[in-house]
Amino acid sequence: MLANKDNRLVNELIAICHDGQRFYRQAAAEVTDSDLKSLFREMASIRAEIAEDLTKKVEEKGGSPEIGGSLVGKMRTVYTDVSTQLSDDANYHFVSELEASEEVTLNIFRDDIRKVDSPHLANDIARHLATIQVTHDRMKDIKDSLTAVKH
């Protein structure tokens, strides 16, 4: 059985992954660039895979996995909806928002690796952190290239 603290921490990560999955799906539906649409769908799939793996870890240890997202994620969706409508470049706006979201996610995964008691769980989180680092770096590169084009 997972310790209550570990269960809570992993459920936080699951909720963050669900939030990211929804955010990427929303972005894929709203951007006009076909390459970005494809990338965002891929990123949503990666987040879903991480959430699914962490859910299995919680279930295997007799815990109750998180099935939804977080309040913060829902608030971010509302903010992004409004700010995108006010933006003159929805593609850049979504890339910028998603890169910032990836940065927050990285920090939370890093923090939670240090907080969990189970070494096996810390290894699982570290493996997913490496994946999220790659997705963050991709978003940052795209953001940087779009910024260069704007200026």
Which domains can be identified in the chain, with CATH numbers? 4-150 (1.20.1260.10)
DSSP 95: H
Percent of the chain with pLDDT over 90: 58
User: What pTM does this model have?
Assistant: 0.84
Q: Are 67 and 19 in contact (CB under 8 A)?
A: no
Question: pLDDT digit string (tens) for 79-126?
Answer: 445 444 545 677 888 899 899 989 999 999 999 999 999 999 999 999
DSSP 31: -
DSSP 62: T
pLDDT in the model for residue 131? 96
